[in-house]
C-alpha cells in the first residue's frame, strides 16, 4: 500500500482523474470500476472534462459500477445508477455495451451477482478501481465482518450505512440491503485507489492505515494490497500518528 497526500479535495480529485486519463491513453480497452458518492464526484466531473479536452478515444473503455442499493430504480436520484448516468454515461455518450451496473431491482439478485462476476472475468479483470470509504470502514457494500475472499454479493447493510446513506436521497428512504462487488475482485484488481477527504474521514483513515488488518474493519484490506493507493487530503490525514 502506498499513501499519497494532497493539500485538498480538488488536488486529490485532479490527480485521480489524470491517472485514469493516462491509463486510458496507454490501454484503450481499460476496465474501470468506480464507486459513486460524494468522494469520487469531482473526479468524475474532471475525468469527463479531461477526456474531452484531450480528445481521448474512450470508445473501448469498459465501466463497471461498484455497488447499488437493493430495490431502488435507476431513476431514483440517490441511486448509484443515476449518479453514473448523470456524471459519466450521458456526458460521454457511452454505449450501453460499455458499462455494466447491478440491476438492484432484479428478482434474482444472486444471478445479478453471477452476471457481474462473469462480466469481470470476460473482460480479463479490472484494471483500476476507485473507491471511497464509509464511516464504518466499508468499501462498496462490503460491510464490517465480510470475508476478504467474497466476490459479488448481496449485503445486509450496517446501521451506520443505513443512516449515513440518507444523505444521497431527497427524503427519508428505507435502506436494507446492498449489492456489491466483493474484495475477491478488489484483491485481483491491478490498481486500487481509495480516496478520502475531509476531517470526518480522519478517524477511519487512521484505522485503515495504522490499525490491524481485520475483516471487522473492511478498508484495512488496503494494507495487503501491493498495488493499493490511499489518496488523502490534509484533513483526512490529520490523525495519522506517523509520517507515511
Which residue number, 112 or 158, has a Cβ lying nearer to ligand PGA? 158
3 bridge partner residues: 230
197 is catalytic: no
138 is catalytic: yes
Residue 134 as a binder of ligand PGA (CB under 6 A): the answer is yes
- Site stretch for ligand PGA (CB under 6 A), options 32-40, 43-51, 94-102, 203-211: 32-40
Which residue number, 47 or 58, has a Cβ lying nearer to ligand PGA? 47
> CB of 200: closest distance to ligand PGA in angstroms?
8
> CB of 35: closest distance to ligand PGA in angstroms?
6
Determine the Cα–Cα distance for residues 69 and 92; give it in Å rounded to an integer.
Answer: 24
H/E segment holding residue 202: helix 202-210
> CB of 110: closest distance to ligand PGA in angstroms?
23
For 22, residues 6+ apart whose C-beta sits below 8 A from its C-beta are none
Strand order across the 67-69 sheet = 67-69, 177-180, 153-156
Report the site for ligand PGA in 37-56 (rule: CB under 6 A).
37-39
Contact residue for ligand PGA among 34, 58, 130, 132 (CB under 6 A): 132
- Site stretch for ligand PGA (CB under 6 A), options 111-119, 132-140, 143-151, 211-219: 132-140
Q: Collapsing DSSP states into helix, strand and coil, what is residue 101?
A: coil
Residue 180 as a binder of ligand PGA (CB under 6 A): the answer is no
Determine the Cα–Cα distance for residues 121 and 118; give it in Å rounded to an integer.
Answer: 5
For the residues of 226-240, what is the DSSP string, one character each? TTEEEEEETTTTTT-
Strand order across the 62-65 sheet = 2-6, 228-233, 191-196, 128-131, 31-34, 62-65, 99-100
# residues contacting ligand PGA (CB under 6 A): 7
Active site residues per annotation: 67, 136, 138, 143
Binding region for ligand PGA (CB under 6 A): 35, 37-39, 132-134
Amino acid at each position: 500500500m502506498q499513501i499519497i497526500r494532497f493539500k485538498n479535495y480538488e488536488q486529490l480529485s485532479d490527480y485521480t482523474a489524470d491517472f485514469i486519463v493516462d491509463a486510458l491513453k496507454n490501454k484503450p480497452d481499460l476496465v474501470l470500476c468506480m464507486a459513486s458518492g460524494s468522494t469520487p464526484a469531482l473526479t468524475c466531473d474532471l475525468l469527463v472534462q479531461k477526456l474531452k479536452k484531450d480528445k481521448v478515444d474512450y470508445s473501448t473503455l469498459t465501466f463497471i459500477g461498484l455497488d447499488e442499493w437493493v430495490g431502488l430504480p435507476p431513476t431514483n436520484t440517490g441511486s448509484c445508477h443515476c449518479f453514473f448516468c448523470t456524471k459519466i454515461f450521458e456526458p460521454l455518450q457511452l454505449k450501453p455495451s460499455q458499462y455494466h451496473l447491478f440491476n438492484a431491482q432484479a428478482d434474482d439478485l444472486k444471478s445479478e451477482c453471477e452476471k457481474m462476476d462473469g462480466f469481470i472475468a470476460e473482460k480479463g479483470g479490472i484494471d483500476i478501481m476507485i473507491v471511497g470509504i464509509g464511516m464504518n470502514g466499508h468499501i462498496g457494500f462490503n460491510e464490517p465482518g465480510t470475508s476478504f475472499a467474497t466476490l459479488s454479493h448481496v449485503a445486509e447493510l450496517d446501521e451506520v450505512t443505513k443512516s449515513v446513506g440518507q444523505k444521497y436521497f431527497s427524503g427519508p428512504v428505507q435502506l436494507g440491503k446492498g449489492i456489491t462487488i466483493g474484495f475477491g475482485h478488489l484483491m485481483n484488481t491491478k490498481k486500487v485507489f481509495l480516496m478520502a477527504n475531509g476531517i470526518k474521514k480522519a478517524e477511519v483513515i487512521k484505522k485503515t492505515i495504522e490499525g490491524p488488518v481485520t475483516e471487522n474493519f473492511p478498508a484495512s484490506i488496503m494494507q495487503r494490497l501491493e498495488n493499493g493507493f490511499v489518496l488523502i487530503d490534509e484533513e483526512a490525514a490529520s490523525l495519522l500518528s506517523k509520517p507515511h
